[in-house]
């Protein structure tokens, strides 16, 4: 492996971690740990396994065909077939973006005391400015390096010495002892937050931006496995901290305020600020990826010029998509929607729409005319088949669970 | 005989201009029906109304009415951009290349308008 590949591998892993841990992971992990201690760890592990495969597939597809997913899916299945997944994807991206902006606003609220709604427009402008001014490379580097701050959850988890037996027991699914509707709602929300469609739709366009070719297939495998695995470790850290700090005190996370105390035991002086900083950075990094995922998907669907490295004058329509997306989704926060509730419901919707966004993707991974020897093998397809069954179940149960279990 | 599958290999494919600037997709294909002879590809159709028609003809009529109603026609003169097949330079696995300059075509009407009326007014964009 040459130097450039090694750098790409390292950078890709850090970026994957930066993009992985977001408002959705923080909210669902905090709720899971506070209400059910380690009992829902299995849901995080299952989601991580599936997202590793999905991200690996989308990167492999981009490296081999040099086409991003929306581009290839429209070309392959035609506009009318792609239209419904495209609209569904745009809607969930919009809600996820609002959740990330809400997360940043809440972090600023924690530090300043001003209501989150006050921060909605300044945060929207900051996020937009970041996208408008930067190239793809700067975005990768800066958000990912700052994203390492979220490792505070892992450090805190280790400092708390969690009970190993109980933690290991949580890795296997078990039935809840209380509040079954809430248990299953959080289980589904965790899956939705981990298998977030923006992760693999962003990743495939990013690989095209970085001009990957078939020689990147192995680099891609490393990034998907280590990056997603490491990202999930941060979410695991958050579950452990919530279980050790919040659960014994009977604190349930119905509001981000309760989650904000998570780090104060492990870091007595800095815990509160550290939580706010980690939350703001995680949400900013993910928000940028979601906004870009929206712009990539729309531009590719209609064949517009696109690329984060181009001057906005060369791809005005592409830039207008993320500009409008950021502005409109920040309005949800401006109008006072509770960021945590929005995030939890959005994660369940993420899970519900999985069949729409995953089916065309998994079908195209088997096209030997496009992918030749790099088409999915039996291992990837077994995981894909399992994912499809799970996605169909999630599509049916998610929305009823939001109504029954979502607070 | 070399053949090409129109639906699989041409329809919905990325369209680029002679400098490889992405300028849209093959939203529709038109065949010329000639008496006593096999049909021949006449043109590539591009534009939102072409896409609307693929969903439902009524949606196409509705979009056309909306355009007139809101005076969008001052930005984009024609709702569809029809390129004769003779302008097609190359069809490859990645794209359909046209022998035109994207910026001078109706496919770039919106792009041009947004660049001149929105992007140019954002502080920090040097003109």
Q: Where are the domains of chain B?
A: 6-121
Q: How far apart are CA A380 and CA A60, in angstroms?
A: 12
Name every chain A residue with its beta carbon within 8 A of the beta carbon of B111: 304-305, 315-317
Q: In chain B, which residue's Cα lies nearest the Cα of A318?
A: B111
Closest in A71, A78, A305 to B21, CB measured = A305
Q: What is the CA B125 to chain-centroid distance, rounded?
A: 28
Q: How far apart are CA A41 and CA A32, in angstroms?
A: 8
State whether residue B61 sits within 8 Å of chain A by CB. Answer: no
CB contact under 8 A, B22 and A78: no
Domain B6-121 fold: SH3 type barrels. (2.30.30)
Q: In chain B, which residue's Cα lies nearest the Cα of A306?
A: B22
B16 forms beta bridges with: B22, B97
Q: What is the model's pTM?
A: 0.94
pLDDT tens, position by position, A88-147? 999 999 999 999 999 999 999 999 999 999 999 999 999 999 888 888 777 777 777 778
Name every chain B residue with its beta carbon within 8 A of the beta carbon of A295: none
* pLDDT tens, N- to C-terminus, chain A (407 residues): 677 788 778 777 777 777 789 999 999 999 999 999 999 999 999 999 999 999 999 999 999 999 999 999 999 999 999 999 999 999 999 999 999 999 999 999 999 999 999 999 999 999 999 888 888 777 777 777 778 889 999 999 999 999 999 999 999 999 999 899 999 999 999 999 999 999 889 999 989 988 899 999 999 999 999 989 989 999 999 999 999 999 999 998 988 988 998 998 888 888 999 999 999 999 998 999 999 999 999 999 999 999 888 888 889 999 999 999 999 999 999 999 999 999 999 999 999 999 988 899 999 999 888 898 999 999 999 999 999 999 999 988 988 888 887 65
Length of chain A as a residue count: 407
State whether residue B56 sits within 8 Å of chain A by CB. Answer: no
What range does the domain containing A112 cover? 3-405
Closest in A78, A132, A133 to B12, CB measured = A78
CB contact under 8 A, A305 and B54: no
State whether residue A317 sits within 8 Å of chain B by CB. Answer: yes
Q: How far apart are CA A215 and CA A390, in angstroms?
A: 32
State whether residue B34 sits within 8 Å of chain A by CB. Answer: no
Q: What is the CA A223 to chain-centroid distance, rounded?
A: 15
Name every chain A residue with its beta carbon within 8 A of the beta carbon of B96: none
State whether residue A71 sits within 8 Å of chain B by CB. Answer: yes
Q: In chain A, which residue's Cα lies nearest the Cα of B24?
A: A303
Q: What is the CATH number of the domain that holds A304?
A: 1.20.1740.10
CB contact under 8 A, B111 and A305: yes
What number of helices (H) and strands (E) belong to chain A? 20, 0
What's the structural domain count of chain A? 1
- Geometric angle at alpha carbon B83, from B80 and B84, rounded to 5°: 140
Closest in B21, B110, B122 to A317, CB measured = B110
Residue of B22, B98, B122 for testing the chain A interface, max A β-carbons within 10 Å: B22
pLDDT tens, position by position, A33-50? 999 999 999 999 999 999
Q: In chain B, which residue's Cα lies nearest the Cα of A370?
A: B93
* pLDDT tens, N- to C-terminus, chain B (127 residues): 788 889 888 999 999 999 999 999 999 999 999 999 999 999 999 998 999 999 998 998 898 888 877 767 677 777 789 999 999 999 998 899 999 999 888 888 888 889 988 988 887 665 4
Complex ipTM value:
0.92
Q: How far apart are CA B102 and CA A3, in angstroms?
A: 38
Q: How far apart are CA A381 and CA A369, in angstroms?
A: 17
Helix H or strand E segment including A37 = none
């Amino acid at each position: 492996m040459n130097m450039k590949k090694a750098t790409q591998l390292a950078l890709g892993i850090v970026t994957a971690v930066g993009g992985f841990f977001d408002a959705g992971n923080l909210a669902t992990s905090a709720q899971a740990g506070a209400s059910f201690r380690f009992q829902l760890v299995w849901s995080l592990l299952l989601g991580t396994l599936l997202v590793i495969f999905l991200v690996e597939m989308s990167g492999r597809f981009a490296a081999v065909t040099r086409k991003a997913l929306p581009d290839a899916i429209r070309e392959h299945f035609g506009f009318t077939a792609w239209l419904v997944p495209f609209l569904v994807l745009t809607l969930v991206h919009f809600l996820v973006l609002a959740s990330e902006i809400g997360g940043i606003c809440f972090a600023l609220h924690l530090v300043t005391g001003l209501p989150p709604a006050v921060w909605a427009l300044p945060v929207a402008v900051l996020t937009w400015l970041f996208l408008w001014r930067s190239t793809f490379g700067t975005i990768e580097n800066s958000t990912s390096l700052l994203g390492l701050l979220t490792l505070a959850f892992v450090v805190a988890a280790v400092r708390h010495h969690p009970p190993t037996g109980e933690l290991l027991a949580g890795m296997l699914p078990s039935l809840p002892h209380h509040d079954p509707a809430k248990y299953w709602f959080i289980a589904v929300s965790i899956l939705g937050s981990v298998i977030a469609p923006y992760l693999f739709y962003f990743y495939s366009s990013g690989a095209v931006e970085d001009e990957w070719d078939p020689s990147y297939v192995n680099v891609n495998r490393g990034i998907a496995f280590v990056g997603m695995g490491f990202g999930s470790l941060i979410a695991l850290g958050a579950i452990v901290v919530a279980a050790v700090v919040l659960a014994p005190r009977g604190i349930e996370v119905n509001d981000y305020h309760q989650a904000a105390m998570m780090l104060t035991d492990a870091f007595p002086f800095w815990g509160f600020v550290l939580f706010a900083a980690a939350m703001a950075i995680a949400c900013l990094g993910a928000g940028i990826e979601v906004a870009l995922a929206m712009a990539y998907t729309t531009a590719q669907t209609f064949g517009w010029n696109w690329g984060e490295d181009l001057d906005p004058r060369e791809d005005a329509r592409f830039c207008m998509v993320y500009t409008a997306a950021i502005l409109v989704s920040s309005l949800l926060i401006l109008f006072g929607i509770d960021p945590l509730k929005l995030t939890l419901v959005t994660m369940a919707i993420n899970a519900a729409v999985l069949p729409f966004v995953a089916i065309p993707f998994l079908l195209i991974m088997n096209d030997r005319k496009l992918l030749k020897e790099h088409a999915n093998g039996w291992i990837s397809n077994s995981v894909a088949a399992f994912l499809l069954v799970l996605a169909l179940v999630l599509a049916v149960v998610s929305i009823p669970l939001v109504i029954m279990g979502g607070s | 005989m070399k053949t090409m599958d129109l639906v699989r290999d041409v329809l919905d494919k990325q369209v680029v201009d002679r400098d490889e600037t992405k300028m849209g997709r093959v939203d529709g294909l038109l065949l010329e029906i000639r008496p006593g002879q096999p049909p021949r590809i006449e043109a590539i159709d591009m534009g939102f109304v072409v896409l609307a028609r693929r969903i439902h003809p009524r949606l196409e009529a509705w979009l056309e009415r909306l355009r007139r109603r809101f005076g969008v026609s001052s930005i984009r003169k024609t709702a569809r951009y029809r390129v004769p097949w003779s302008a097609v330079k190359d069809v490859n696995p990645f794209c359909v290349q046209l022998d035109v300059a994207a910026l001078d075509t109706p496919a770039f009407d919106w792009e041009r308008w947004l660049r001149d009326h929105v992007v140019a007014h954002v502080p920090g964009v040097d003109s």
